[in-house]
Chains A and B, each alone.
Chain A
């Protein structure tokens, strides 16, 4: 019996491939295999003899079966390993190309602004880029002779000589949307109005089109102090700083009274801007309490309602936040610029993820 065991264990171990191994299995455990034949002999034995031979034979059968299985796995592994050794790729080759798109900084920053003001209850209004001179000027307390009209470098639409109406203008600011919103929804109001505006000016720091966001809040008891708080909140979240100091400086806009220019404390070192520290002041926006005449023009009773308005340049705050040097480059559609300063498609601004990228 021991001879039999030794013979087949050796044969299994010596098998070179699956065929040889199958031959060994048949010789030992096949229908006519040596072990099988011996098992068959068990029937002829006396019970006493069988008690001895039976377990021994069964144990031998089990041992050979596991040896066969182990050898089978080993042979298969060897074959696989041999194949894998031939399978080699130069994985330093470039990946399959895909095109990666981008979102323009103006769009990204507009969405950032919306995210912040939405949290303070401001909705978003838009208005036409070609405006009547009433919405762009008169309703905002800028009558025809007002020097501000000449100072604004307004673009005018051509009028046929037989057309007596005053020419429409390309809106010089987003403020006409204030009036349109007042007319449409009445007070109270909390709204921001982002969008493109136009002035006939083109040099290093001016482009004939740029972008503004207007803010308007009307209620019964709003004050300039509320305005200051709102702007402080905005600047903190927008520039992702814990603390910031705003400086209100008296100024004049025809559509607000009192009016203030707003500066933020900052430092400039080697062209690097840091908001919230340092000894410089950076002018970022104009603001004030809505002029009673403007409220009246929008159909809102200035004896009952009061509120604030502000306007700032979206391109400008984008330049400040993301260190973009040249305003003109915003509108040049240079692929290198779009890829460098653009934003990933899935990078949609929201407050819970923060607004720093």
Chain B
């Protein structure tokens, strides 16, 4: 919402400066977004008088002028034809920036003669396009700043323009008068009275108006009046200037008048060219659906059932509260004009505007709620201005429907208001503020003025009082502690685990990413998503069309972008939500990492190598360990199809409970990501990791035996697809009370083992508990290990 300072003063009697007004507006909740105040810039220019002007000896069109300025007599060369003795001029002295030519004036020589400044045209100061010559002032005082002179003599030219942001609850502040009312309530002046007298009609209105009974709820009241014999055309300069100042394009007097009231009093009006209407009646009704409406924006709209429209005998002429029709719009030739001032329901106006995607000043106002009482004043005020500016003769006013009942009042609970705001505000002051805002105080209740549709309860009164008193005055009051003790920990087990796993992954050398939660359909499909239920209705681009089913595609895309920048080896991870459906409950939290290329950058110690599955296996185990996941788990296969079928493992508690997956990503999936180098990854299903039920901090006692442990190595020849874990499990189970640990330390394929075989070597660690083991005992355990492993795997001890 834009307005000029002088326009504001038409409604507000005030001595406040522009700065005071601007500060107060922001503080009142009418946030000032921009102020353009031309005076300050124009005050760089000062008034001078040409004492003498003679032709430049070396240039026909230039004149050498002696100018009296506040710096004394100065010589200025000027090319303007009107530069002559005796006139008051506007001087830019050396050092002054002249916006119209984008130059800072210096001392220079023009064709050999020194010039100490410049005499300016309006264009050069960006006041207008006027550039026929330099400015000639009718009066002036040498050295007076030009901005101040304009303020005294031609204030419109230096009118400050203020733009404020309007929150949706303040339709009243979409009119200058509403803004003035707020300032008056704040104590920055007095609201000037508005005297609107009804203008008697000279004849009966030849156009009748009716509202269909079904439509009364959406269009409760409609006032109209014909003015015949008007002369439309360009509006007077003052009106054009006013509209231009706030960024509106003057169109014609009749249209400009409606725009004036839209901004002056938040009262949108519509004017029909009465001669273009078919028949002599207007009907407000619900659209049937399917009607074609040609609007003033020269677009064609297909209406839906239930939209409120205004029709003549042939068809729709106006979309209520949103936009008029092109067929009955006013032009320079309009002689008979029909004015409409109505009230339309904000909700239906909002839905209609949204559906047809029409943004107009009228819709913006009607959907926020205009003052229904002002419909009748609006038509009278507009009539007065039309007659003044266009001539003509008004008819009587026709009316359909009644102004809707908006009366309501709420209790002013002054004590509760103080308690909510946390500031002392004397009850009398509270009531006074409400009164100045137009509330009608009766006892301890406040009747809501017709222009404040947003006030719908006691809480709204609190806001009114708080903002007018000024929240600047608010002093902080300590929030009492929940108890008089050290604060308790606040994180849930799941939250703590997320934080810990993040830092564990970073500690393993992974860089944390945060990617968008939506990805392209193709990538989503590769990872088990991409269906309609996870699709966005209005994505910002096709790259962001579906909610991600997994974190890996985002990380792979990130890796691909980094490779395009020349970084080939990397470790990236992300923790975040993934979506397996379109409902709130279809969200789980995962942690995924990808490891790409070489383990480290190429180095002199020759330790770097290509990353492989066992790197990520180590990393996933590390992260799981950091968050206290059970240390005993199985490694199973059969994870989602985007993993390499033979080179991945699921870390499981039983066949159904998967804590995470690690492995190579399926080459087919990778092929669509444009990535170089070996790529392995892992995913942890954070929600699946059991949270220990026991909150006991006591640990089981440490059983560090004093007897020395004995280690024995065994190698078995087994089928190549026999898993090492089946060997260690069998060995471990052979003598549970003595075998403390079984580790695989070698795997060998080839040699004389024969096709389809491999050799797996294990170290078995025996920990005696009572006595040192004898050779015979060790021999017995060894035999048991060999038997168990052989029978479990079908392999044989390698001799």
Contact = CB atoms under 8 A, between A and B. Distances in A.
Nearest to A315: B514
Contacts of B108: none
A260 B170 CA distance: 15
B127 interface: no
A184 B578 CA distance: 23
Contacts of B291: none
B490 A122 contact: yes
A248 B506 contact: no
B511 A101 contact: yes
A229 B479 contact: yes
Nearest to B466: A258
B562 A258 contact: no
A232 B547 CA distance: 38
Interface residues of A, number: 99
A47 B600 CA distance: 83
A70 interface: no
A76 interface: no
Contacts of B354: 150
Nearest to B29: A250
B754 interface: no
A224 B471 contact: yes
Interface in B469-502: 470-472, 474-479, 481-482, 487, 489-492, 495, 499, 502
Interface in A228-280: 228-230, 232, 246-252, 254, 257-261
A114 interface: yes
B584 interface: yes
A198 B517 contact: yes
A101 B489 CA distance: 28
B168 A252 contact: yes
A72 interface: no
Given A145-B367, A248-B471, A209 B516 contact: yes
B420 A250 contact: no
Interface in A156-205: 156-160, 167-168, 170, 190, 196, 198, 200-202
B28 A250 contact: yes
B618 interface: no
Contacts of A119: 487
B607 A96 contact: yes
Interface residues of B, number: 103
Contacts of A104: 512-514
B507 interface: yes
A127 B587 CA distance: 10
A226 B491 contact: no
Contact of A128 (B421, B571, B587): B587
Nearest to A131: B584
A147 B570 contact: no
Given A97-B600, A160-B532, A345-B506, A130 B28 contact: no
B505 to A, nearest CB: 7
A225 B504 CA distance: 41
Interface string B595-635: 00001110111011000000000000000000000000000
Nearest to B567: A335
A213 to B, nearest CB: 14
B463 A107 contact: no
Interface in A257-305: 257-261, 289, 291-293
Interface stretch (A15-23, A34-42, A54-62, A325-333): A325-333
B82 interface: no
Given A124-B492, A249-B471, A333 B582 contact: no
A260 B28 CA distance: 10
Contact of A129 (B508, B562, B587): B587
B733 interface: no
Given A338-B513, A342-B511, A345-B503, A252 B478 contact: no
Which residue among A114, A226, A232, A249 has the maximum number of chain B CB atoms within 10 Å of its CB?
A: A249
Contacts of A345: 503-504, 506-507
Contacts, number: 288
Contacts of A118: 487, 489-491
Given A101-B571, A158-B536, A289-B420, A96 B605 contact: yes
B715 to A, nearest CB: 32
Interface in B444-461: 457-460
A118 B491 CA distance: 9
Which residue among B499, B584, B587 has the maximum number of chain A CB atoms within 10 Å of its CB?
A: B584
Nearest to A158: B535
Which residue among B478, B505, B532, B586 has the maximum number of chain A CB atoms within 10 Å of its CB?
A: B478
B577 to A, nearest CB: 6
Contacts of B587: 128-130
A121 interface: yes
Interface in B21-41: 26-29, 31
B515 A331 contact: yes
A155 B540 CA distance: 9
Given A94-B604, A96-B605, A331 B514 contact: yes
B562 A124 contact: no
B509 interface: yes
Interface string A315-357: 0000000000000001111111011001011101000000000
A217 B460 CA distance: 20
A132 interface: yes
Given A123-B490, A224-B474, A130 B583 contact: yes
Interface stretch (B326-334, B343-351, B665-673): B343-351
A225 B477 contact: yes
Contact of A121 (B26, B481, B507, B586): B481
Given A145-B350, A158-B536, A168 B471 contact: no
Contacts of B458: 292
Contacts of A155: 536-539
A223 B571 contact: no
Contacts of B579: 129-130
B462 A257 contact: yes
A301 B169 CA distance: 24
A223 B420 contact: yes
A228 B514 contact: no
Contact of A247 (B472, B533, B558, B576): B472
Given A129-B577, A196-B517, A98 B509 contact: yes
Nearest to B603: A97
A94 B555 CA distance: 30
Which residue among A101, A148, A198, A226 has the maximum number of chain B CB atoms within 10 Å of its CB?
A: A101
Given A225-B423, A229-B477, A103 B509 contact: no
Nearest to B166: A252
B757 to A, nearest CB: 37
Contacts of B585: 128
A4 interface: no
A226 B457 contact: no
B466 A224 contact: yes
Contacts of A111: 499
A27 B574 CA distance: 78
What 6 pairs across the A-B complex have the smallest Cβ distances?
A225-B422, A223-B422, A99-B509, A250-B467, A229-B476, A250-B29
Interface of B: 26-29, 31, 167-170, 346-347, 350-351, 354, 367-368, 419-423, 457-460, 462-463, 466-467, 470-472, 474-479, 481-482, 487, 489-492, 495, 499, 502-518, 532-540, 544, 547, 555, 558, 561-562, 565, 567, 570-573, 575-577, 579, 582-587, 599-601, 603-605, 607-608
15 contacts: A99-B509, A101-B510, A103-B512, A119-B487, A148-B168, A151-B168, A155-B536, A157-B535, A226-B422, A226-B478, A226-B479, A249-B471, A250-B27, A289-B462, A336-B567
Interface of A: 93-94, 96-104, 106-107, 111, 114, 118-124, 126-132, 135, 144-148, 150-151, 155-160, 167-168, 170, 190, 196, 198, 200-202, 207-209, 217, 221-230, 232, 246-252, 254, 257-261, 289, 291-293, 306, 330-336, 338-339, 342, 344-346, 348
Given A94-B603, A101-B511, A144-B351, 8 more contacts: A99-B508, A209-B516, A224-B420, A224-B422, A224-B471, A226-B478, A333-B514, A345-B504
